[in-house]
Amino acid sequence: MDIASVPLFSMLRSRIGYLNQRQELIAQNVANVSTPGFTPKDLKPFTIKQGAGATLALAPAAEGQSAQGDSASAGMIPLQTSGSGGQQAFGSVAAPDDETKLDGNQVGLEDQMMKMNETRTQYEAAVGIYEKAMNFLQMAAKEPGK
């Protein structure tokens, strides 16, 4: 049995990939804090929808659409792989911060730092859950009394 076929581990790996990609976008936003006319980007929110049976499907929530859908295919987009390492590519959207400078740059450094901290915290939580689940499986696989 491949560990990646377990829905919990598959979802956690996707979540960690999403958070990695979000961290890259935030870093690009910070790097362009002085670029005239630059609009920061962010990823669409990561949601999990319970599909038919025990299948988990990943999809960004469309604007105005709740994460609680009637159908597993409602609002779904196909998961694509990016060129780097086969990670899933999650859709990015323009996400201007609260301030716009005179040169048209819409990156708010404070907002980006808050997003970076939030992403780091979520990443640590996902990795922690992954590790605890792995420890649980290892404990369950051990022979009784050892």
Q: What is the pLDDT of residues 78-133, one digit of tens each?
A: 333 343 444 456 778 888 888 888 998 999 999 999 999 999 999 999 999 999 99
Intra-chain end-to-end CA distance of the chain, in Å: 23
DSSP E strand boundaries for 17-142: 41-43, 46-50, 56-60, 80-81, 88-89, 92-94
Q: What is the pLDDT of residue 31?
A: 95
Q: How confident is the model at residue 8 (pLDDT cuts 50, 70, 90)?
A: confident
- Is the pTM higher than 0.85? The answer reads no
The per-residue pLDDT of the chain, averaged, comes to 75
Cβ–Cβ under 8 Å, residues 106 and 95: no
Burial class (CB in 10 A: 0-12, 13-18, 19+), 59: buried
Whole-number Å distance between alpha carbons of 113 and 105 = 16
For the cut 60, the answer to whether the pLDDT of residue 57 exceeds it is no
Q: What is the pLDDT of residue 84?
A: 41
For the cut 70, the answer to whether the pLDDT of residue 1 exceeds it is no
